[in-house]
Structure 1
Amino acid sequence: MEDNSIVALLERHGVRPTANRILIVKALAAGRHPLSMRDLEIEIQSIDKSNIFRALTLFRERHMVHAVEDGDGATRYELCWSEDEDSDEDEHMHFFCEVCHRTFCLYDRHVPDVSLPEGYRVSSVNCLVKGVCPACGRKRKC
């Protein structure tokens, strides 16, 4: 993802484009799967953990990232491709492989609507399916 696209994404969500925030978005965009805080720390060694955490918190508030609770109890982050800071129209399901412990995005599987009793308000929905990914399934057959 190019810097001008990242700046446009940040501005569309009402986030001031600083050098650190641009680096964090670049790392998230380059990730092939949702990234943990530790993944981001390793990827971006020039930014300390507290600055990464503050940026991710801001990105979550502005609907710029999804926080995915994976099957190992960690939180992973991925870019949200929604068009504004007030909604997440691109929420999708995730798959956690119990063998390789990777979390995969299932972009074509949308999170089902959740109907709650009166008085309850939804702030987010996390839909995680656990099992064995295709690569690990092939290894087990051999």
Structure 2
Amino acid sequence: MNSDFEKILENRGIKPTAMRILVLKELHSQSEAMSIYDLEQKFNKVERTTLFRTLNTFEENNLIHKIDDGSGAVKYALCQENCTCKLEDLHVHFLCMKCKKTFCLENIPVPFVQLPDNFEFKTANFVIKGICPQCHK
């Protein structure tokens, strides 16, 4: 199983280390995005700077994407296998106002916006807020 995660890292140009494999496994096992605090709770005695460096490396290599869902904590989620984090790869996120979990709605692309001349697209963040199915019960 570790070799699968090592391959994922290597395919993105990331050197597999024990910490990177652990973080990737944790992100892979979640159905919702995770904050740095969430990750700290999963790993005892791991320094926050180590987690930040790992997440920054993952983001720089398009393995994860950051989500600013307005909750006050940036969250992280795995990208699709062929994601390059360009406009055509971006998708909508959903923040549950009850449980505060953020979900990637990967089948719903971020709407296209025609920018005025001389404006250059860098990134987009589209968050819908409401109640998730689990909390709706």
TM-score > 0.5, shorter chain as reference: yes
Structure 2 SS opposite 1:109: strand
Matches within 5 A, 1:1-142: 2-83=1-82, 87-88=84-85, 90-138=89-137
Matches of 1:112 and 1:4 in 2, distance apart?
37
Say whether the 8 Å CA contact 1:63–1:82 is kept in structure 2. no
Q: Which moved more, 1:29-38 or 1:124-133?
A: 124-133
Q: Which blocks of at least 5 consecutive residues in structure 1 are unaligned?
A: none
Q: Which blocks of at least 5 consecutive residues in structure 2 are unaligned?
A: none
Normalising by the residue count of structure 2, what TM-score does the alignment of the two structures yield?
0.88
Normalising by the residue count of structure 1, what TM-score does the alignment of the two structures yield?
0.85
Matches of 2:71 and 2:129 in 1, distance apart?
10
Say whether the 8 Å CA contact 1:94–1:105 is kept in structure 2. yes
Q: Deviations over 1:99-121 (max 9, x none)?
A: 22221221221222232222222
Structure 1 SS opposite 2:95: strand
Matches of 2:42 and 2:68 in 1, distance apart?
20
What displacement does 1:124 show? 1.6
Structure 2 SS opposite 1:105: strand
Say whether the 8 Å CA contact 1:20–1:47 is kept in structure 2. no
Structure 1 SS opposite 2:103: strand
Matches of 2:106 and 2:36 in 1, distance apart?
22
Say whether the 8 Å CA contact 1:71–1:130 is kept in structure 2. no
What displacement does 1:75 show? 0.6
What displacement does 1:9 show? 1.2
What displacement does 1:23 show? 0.7
Q: 1:4 to 1:114 in 2, by over 3 A?
A: farther
Matches of 2:2 and 2:118 in 1, distance apart?
43
Query: RMSD across aligned C-alpha pairs, in angstroms?
Result: 1.7
Structure 2 SS opposite 1:21: helix
Matches of 1:112 and 1:43 in 2, distance apart?
35
